[in-house]
């Protein structure tokens, strides 16, 4: 029996060190060197303090800011520790009511805007944490943001265009806009009211 247990414990110990210590340390080191920004959470830092991440959505409700996608996380919105989808299908009455309420909120914030509301502004993403909106979603809100900040609409549209990221590798996904990065750039615009 000793002859069987000894090699088993030696192998167990060796694999624990290799798989539990050496491999994670190697992968973490490579990540921090090759992908320093992403390995650190893709944080946006201003004035030496992190203000958010380009990977996790934030809630904005002021008319002078672009609003992101609704969050499906609980108990608070955009809670990275509670990432999950709403699991509500398209025929779920609760989802239909939530979408109606979100459309009403967007219409109330910008009563003169009669354009169709882009679907991403009224539905949560699969993770509930999406930091980006469609280009159509950004332009839909540009008039409201421009009016709230007393900026020319063309200036806000140009800001959206500068912060539009194209498809991945030129053909995967859709063009999109990171809401936090756009709002931070908006705060830096001349003549912006806060």
Q: Domain spans of the chain?
A: 1-40, 41-187
Q: What is the mean pLDDT of the chain?
A: 88
Tens digit of each residue's pLDDT (9 = 90 or more) over 113-135: 999 999 999 998 878 788 999 99
Question: Which positions of the chain have pLDDT values less than 70?
Answer: 75, 84-86, 191-194
Please provide the distance, in angstroms rounded to a whole number, between the alpha carbons at the two ends of the chain. 76
At 164, give phi and psi (nearest 5°): -80, 130
The three-class DSSP label of residue 124 is coil
In this structure, what token pair is assigned to residue 44?
Answer: 């946006």
């Amino acid at each position: 029996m000793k002859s069987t247990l000894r090699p088993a414990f030696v192998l167990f110990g060796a694999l624990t060190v290799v798989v539990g210590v050496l491999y994670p340390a190697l992968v973490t080191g490579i990540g921090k060197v090759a992908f320093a920004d992403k390995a650190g959470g893709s944080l946006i830092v201003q004035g030496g303090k992190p203000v958010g991440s380009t990977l996790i959505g934030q809630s904005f409700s002021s008319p002078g800011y672009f609003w992101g996608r609704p969050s499906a996380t609980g108990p608070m919105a955009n809670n990275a520790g509670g990432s999950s989808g709403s699991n509500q299908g398209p025929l779920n009455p609760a989802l239909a009511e939530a979408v109606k309420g979100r459309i009403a909120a967007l219409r109330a914030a910008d009563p003169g805007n009669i354009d169709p509301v882009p679907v991403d502004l009224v539905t949560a993403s699969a993770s509930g944490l999406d930091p980006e909106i469609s280009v159509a979603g950004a332009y839909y809100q540009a008039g409201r943001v421009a009016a709230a900040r007393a900026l020319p609409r063309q200036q806000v549209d140009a800001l959206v265009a500068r912060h539009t990221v194209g498809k991945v590798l030129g053909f995967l996904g859709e063009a999109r806009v990171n809401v936090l990065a756009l709002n931070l750039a908006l705060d830096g615009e001349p003549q912006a009211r806060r």
